[in-house]
Amino acid sequence: MRPARRRQSLVLVKSPFLNFDLIIFDCDGVLVDSEVISCRAHAETLTRHGYPITAEQVLERFLGRSMRQATNEVQAELGRSLPDDFASETYAEIFRMFADSLEATPHIGEALARIAQPVCVASSGPPEKISASLNRTGLYDRFAPHIFSAVQVRHGKPAPDLFLFAAERMQTAPENCLVIEDSVAGIAGAIAAGMPVLGYHGGSHCRKGYGEKLRDAGATATFDDMRQLPELIARLGREAG
């Protein structure tokens, strides 16, 4: 049973004064409430391979970043390579846990139904993980085929590559895109791409003060309930008008 939702909290920091032609969603922690599950699986797998780490530490260090980036960092610290099948082993554990407990972010379906602009996904996860997440939660058809992964670009978040790639594929100027993110790395990547970004801090992985952390990272506004998102997008559009 989910705990009772806390009072809705939305903080508008500044307006980008732009109309939006495309809404770009991160997947983990935004569309699906998966970060706690993924971090636990990642931590357990790393620990088995001689790199003791907790799920909280994985969350703090690697949230929003690709498995490739995290693995390279760990290997540099260990001074040796992890097994060739480390990533596949980790994802197998994640998928097993997803089958047991993954859920869509509360009210995301309602929010998406009220968003008129085209939407797409730009996620640090590999295509198999994104598809598993969206299919499990019934969101795949809302986004397919406009689903983009960090494996398609040279540099993952916090680099701007993935967001710029998504905008190019969707034939939209970067400045006319709005990004929805839950991680500091994702917000940094959106800003580097020249895109305004909203910080969502309503996931089960978000602790007290996380919204402030996203604002400090440069989020245009922050919110913790997906029912707020359509009106927030519309409000920014009205200010642009």
Catalytic residue numbers, as ranges: 26
Mapping DSSP onto H, E and C, the string for the chain reads CCCCCCCCCEEECCCCCCCCCEEEECCECCCECCHHHHHHHHHHHHHHCCCCCCHHHHHHHHCCCCHHHHHHHHHHHHCCCCCCCHHHHHHHHHHHHHHHHCCECCCHHHHHHCCCCCEEEEECCCHHHHHHHHHHCCCHHHHCCCEEEHHHCCCCCCCCHHHHHHHHHCCCCHHHEEEEECCHHHHHHHHHCCCCEEEECCCCCCCCCHHHHHHHHCCCEEECCHHHHHHHHHHHHHHHC
Q: How far apart are CA 11 and CA 123, in angstroms?
A: 24
